Amino acid sequence: MNSSKGNFINKKFILSFFIFLFFISIQQTSFSLQKNTLKEVYKDDFLIGVAIGSRDIFHYYKYPMRKDKSEMKIINREFNCVTAENLMKPQYICPHPGMYYFDAVDELMDFAEKNNHVVVGHVLVWHAMTADSFFEDDKGNLLSRDDMILRMKDYIYQVVKRYKGRIKYWDVVNEAVDLRTITDENGNRFEEAFLRESKWTKIIGEDFIELAFKFAHEADPNAELIYNDFTMNNKVKAKFVSDMCKRIRAKGIRIDGVGMQAHWHLNYPSVEELKQVMKIYRESDLKVHLTELDVGILERPNVQQDADISRKSKLNSSLNPYTNNVPPSVLIKHAKKYEDLFKVLLENRDIVDRVTFWGANDGISWLNEWPIEGRTSHPLLFDRLNQPKPAYDTLISLGLEFHRN
């Protein structure tokens, strides 16, 4: 390469670099001067929440004090509701029976109340992220049914009563229902929802769900109680869960609503699918919470669209195409998907209580580690530099337009 050509390339590179910096600075300035925020735009519709997560998930992690300051500014500026991504899960609060760690949760509560955030308790009863010893006696044997019920009750009482009157919503039971494909004698294939086998069902039985809701209500009669699960946009599962809630309610036990985890993708769910399940929940008189919303842009290694954390695959470069930047065309599709979803939520705002995004920015999204560890994922409204993406601007514009009309 001759020197004149090399100098030209260097100058071109330098010019492009400064143009890039210029546009970044304009974006940052416009965002800092913007008056509209998500929580303001949608204040008459539903809460706008965020999961406060961590890059390390040990139970003693005091993350509100260790999070990036610009990230915390976004959390306080844009959101009015917070969920602990991991810290309130059983294995972090109670890593061993009778051993409780509340320091980090106490700090989260102080942070939330100081900044006027509604708090969601996540989660009380789950087959995953609960210590094996929680189900065992001192000798390592599974507890009897009666002893397991007492341990569940004690745990729920300890946790819920500690924050009585301070936590508005509790995800009481998480991911107890699954889906499978059945082939009948004529070769016809169809989906079937069923209660997942777990240590809860093995020791207590299917009534562990109603017992959990009963104990949670006893511990805090004013808290609103949610059943939370993935693939709640599937009408078969939606019908199964709605019927389950009806049966439990018929026994005089409180259940206020369902949590749709909403780990979705550019290609699903369809608007029609979402409208169908909203109708099911409405007819069942259940409030709807989008509890863990993100919209992935990367392909998944299998056809299942659930969020089962036990399913993971190895890193493949073909499934990790956007390690640096996301093409504008993909960002536009990402924004359009969020817009389509929010239009359905606005149409059903009388039953939708909350929309919680599962993370403040792409850099801390759990999708960087699942279903493939080490991917560079881009599912949220803010990028790794805490700058708003087109999806954010689209949702602001949608909310403003909706309330003008």
Crossing angle of helices 271-283 and 328-347, in 10° steps, is 20
Least confident of 66-70, 111-115, 353-357: 66-70
Cis amide bond preceding 97, omega within 30: no
Distance CA 178, CA 28 (A): 43
Q: Confidence class of residue 67 from pLDDT cuts 50, 70 and 90?
A: low
Catalytic residues: 175, 292
Domain boundaries, the chain: 34-303+311-404
Task: Map residue 95 onto helix, strand or coil.
Answer: coil
Phi, psi of 228 (to 5 degrees): -120, 140
Q: What angle do CA 203, 83, 349 make, to 5 degrees?
A: 100
User: Over 50: is that where the pLDDT of 33 sits?
Assistant: no
Are the C-beta atoms of 255 and 249 separated by less than 8 Å? yes
Run of H or E residues at 167: none
The pLDDT of 342-354, averaged and rounded, is: 98
Q: Give Cα 192 distance to the centre of its chain.
A: 24
Percent of the chain with pLDDT over 90: 71
Distance CA 380, CA 363 (A): 9
Residue-level pLDDT at 29: 42
Beta bridge partners of 218: none
Q: What is the CB neighbour count within 10 angstroms for residue 363?
A: 19
Q: Confidence class of residue 285 from pLDDT cuts 50, 70 and 90?
A: very high
Are the C-beta atoms of 365 and 380 separated by less than 8 Å? yes
298-315 pLDDT, tens digit per residue, is 887 664 454 454 454 555
360-372 pLDDT, tens digit per residue, is 998 888 888 867 8
pTM: 0.86
> Taking the C-alpha atoms of 265, 332, 23 and 4 in order, what is their torsion angle to the nearest 10 degrees?
100
132-150 pLDDT, tens digit per residue, is 999 999 999 999 999 999 9
User: Over 80: is that where the pLDDT of 212 sits?
Assistant: yes
Mean of the per-residue pLDDT values for the chain?
87
Report the length, in residues, of the chain: 405
User: Over 50: is that where the pLDDT of 354 sits?
Assistant: yes
Are the C-beta atoms of 35 and 75 separated by less than 8 Å? no
Q: Cα separations (Å) of 47 from 58, 76, 259, 321? A: 28, 13, 14, 34
> Taking the C-alpha atoms of 380, 383, 388 and 390 in order, what is their torsion angle to the nearest 10 degrees?
-70
Q: Which CATH architecture has domain 34-303+311-404?
A: Alpha-Beta Barrel (3.20)
Q: Cα separations (Å) of 254 from 51, 63, 220, 226? A: 25, 33, 11, 9
